[in-house]
Structure 1
Amino acid sequence: MGAVAIGGPALLSACASSDDTTTFAGAKASKKIKVGFGNEAPYGFTDASGKLTGAEPEVARVVLKAMGIDEMEAVPSDFGQLIPGLQAKKFAFVAAGMSIRPDRCETAAFSAPEFKVASSFLVPKGNPQGIRRFEDISGKDVKIAVLSGAVEKGYAEEVGVPADKIVTLDNQDNILRQVQDGRVYGAALLDITSRWLLKQNPGAPLEATESFQGSKKAPDVGAFTFRKEDTEFINAFNAELKKVKESGEWLRIVTPFGFSEANAPGPELTTEALCKG
């Protein structure tokens, strides 16, 4: 670590292998980069043709192109394994719409805030159990599904929801299937996710509850995720991301994935403040 710090960016670039796509120096040399994603639509997922798409990869493509990196190689991962995979250098950064949280900031670094969202529940039509907030779960004979590694399990625990009422699943397909089959009453998701799943499954007898802030501590603000030591990469990425947002290009990119101008975080939401909680 000390030797790398003394050498600085020039040394990193000089030593980078042309086939190294898991570091910033290697990506600049090869023009290619490996990106981790959790296969969670509409944030980052592969379409029917196998192409990596979603709001975060599409924004990242534009940002990276401006940095001279032309090609992204997709590396899928369970959401809960994205930060461990990043630390293990399976990919150079994560484009999965990961929320900035103090516990995650202990082991990873984040770009400037990219979007803000809220929570909602995916429930049977009519919502017969009346689940509209995490506080509603404890007093009902229901089980609620959450995505492994996502924020919703923590929000439920924050208000005292018993562990036996929370079912952790590894992907969206399993969540949707279990809600449809009645194996769980509903699913706690980000509101963009709930609406996207309904749009993609128009015949499902389900509905999304009204959006609400899942945590009492801070709003859900998503960003790109990096290794803590990759300061040069983060700074370069943030500089180009700022240009994309200020030009209006960001809104054009994310609108097809269910985002709107209302999802743009204000200047009061900073990575530093969100990491402190």
Structure 2
Amino acid sequence: MGGDGAAAVTYAEAKSSGKIKVGFANEAPWAFLDEKGELTGYAPTVARAVLKKLGINEVEGVVTDFDGLIDGVRAKNYAFVAAGMFINPKRCESSDFAIPDYRVGSAFLVPKGNPRDITRFEDITRANVRIATLGGAVENGYAESSGVPSNLIEPMAKQDDILRAVRNNDVYGGAMLDVTASWLVKNNPDANLEVTSSFQFSAKPDVGTFNFRLDDDQFREDFNRELRALHESGEWLKLVEPFGLTAANEPDPSRTTEQYCTA
């Protein structure tokens, strides 16, 4: 594959050709196409820095619906997933994760002033308002665990769909990651929306990273080595700050991927 100039879907081929394909879901600020059609965001930026150390200088993105990303990497549509994906036990059954790369909380995207005072999932039931979520994202499980009736939760395919629905009063608000909600408000100042305070749903924080095929151990180990070095040098923070992540989003270095893979 190195000879025909195509981006590779395996580590060995990528090391030979210097080009690699990554899967992403086109969700800003995690991994998305900018106005020029260039792949950018937190995950591709960090991935490029890591891959450069491994001798792979060209990254090509393959847009995939978020809940199809793991199936796509297993089908070798791309070499790994760079999309800001949480580590959880279910995903660990069918894929392998890199070391924890960031942690986030949840928040609600709501009308300015938050007139119905939605700050936790339990508030949705109390106020009897409809809230949009991203299909396949963790907030759907959080709502269910909090006893929110399913008719009050409306999963949507894209975060821009959620923004539009809240802005147009089709739903009261949107439940999403704090970093994502802040990005949407910052980039849509005329939408008259705000973000509620970030919160952790459970004692175990939401931690995300890059996702690999099962048993693609050499690639994952080499990637982990360089990713760890980015965190230890402080370079990681410089890379991610333009996308709304801060020192507060640094994961606890004492917690391992294996710990997050267990319930």
SS of residue paired to 1:198: helix
State the Cα distance separating 1:217 from its structure 2 match.
Answer: 4.9
Tell me if 1:173 matches 2:160.
yes
Aligned residue for 2:195? 208
CA deviation profile, 1:203-245 (whole Å, cap 9, x unmatched): 111110000012x252111100111121111001000111111
Structure 2 CA distance, aligned partners of 1:42 and 1:269?
A: 25
* CA RMSD, Structure 1 to Structure 2 (Å): 1.2
CA deviation profile, 1:16-71 (whole Å, cap 9, x unmatched): 76446111111111111000111111110010001100011001001001001110
Report 1:106-117 matches (<5 A). Answer: 106-117=93-104
Tell me if 1:151 matches 2:162.
no
Structure 2 CA distance, aligned partners of 1:160 and 1:270?
A: 30
Aligned residue for 2:42? 55
Structure 1 counterpart of 2:112, one-letter code: K
Structure 1 CA distance, aligned partners of 2:136 and 2:77?
A: 18
Structure 2 counterpart of 1:109, one-letter code: D
Tell me if 1:140 matches 2:140.
no
Tell me if 1:36 matches 2:23.
yes
**Aligned CA distance change for structure 1 residues 151 and 194 (closer, same or farther; 3 Å):** same
Structure 1 CA distance, aligned partners of 2:255 and 2:249?
A: 12
SS of residue paired to 2:28: coil
Report 1:190-209 matches (<5 A). Answer: 190-209=177-196
State the Cα distance separating 1:269 from its structure 2 match.
Answer: 2.3
Aligned residues: 261
Structure 2 CA distance, aligned partners of 1:34 and 1:17?
A: 13
Aligned residue for 1:228? 214
- Runs of 4 or more, structure 1, over 4 Å off, are 16-20
Aligned residue for 1:102? 89
**Aligned CA distance change for structure 1 residues 17 and 218 (closer, same or farther; 3 Å):** same
Tell me if 1:274 matches 2:260.
yes
What is the TM-score with the length of structure 1 in the denominator?
0.91
Gap runs ≥5 in structure 2: none
Gap runs ≥5 in structure 1: 1-15
Structure 1 counterpart of 2:107, one-letter code: S
Structure 2 CA distance, aligned partners of 1:107 and 1:114?
A: 20
Tell me if 1:240 matches 2:220.
no
What is the TM-score with the length of structure 2 in the denominator?
0.96
1:255 to 238, 241, 244: 241
2:55 to 60, 68, 86: 68
Structure 1 CA distance, aligned partners of 2:216 and 2:248?
A: 30
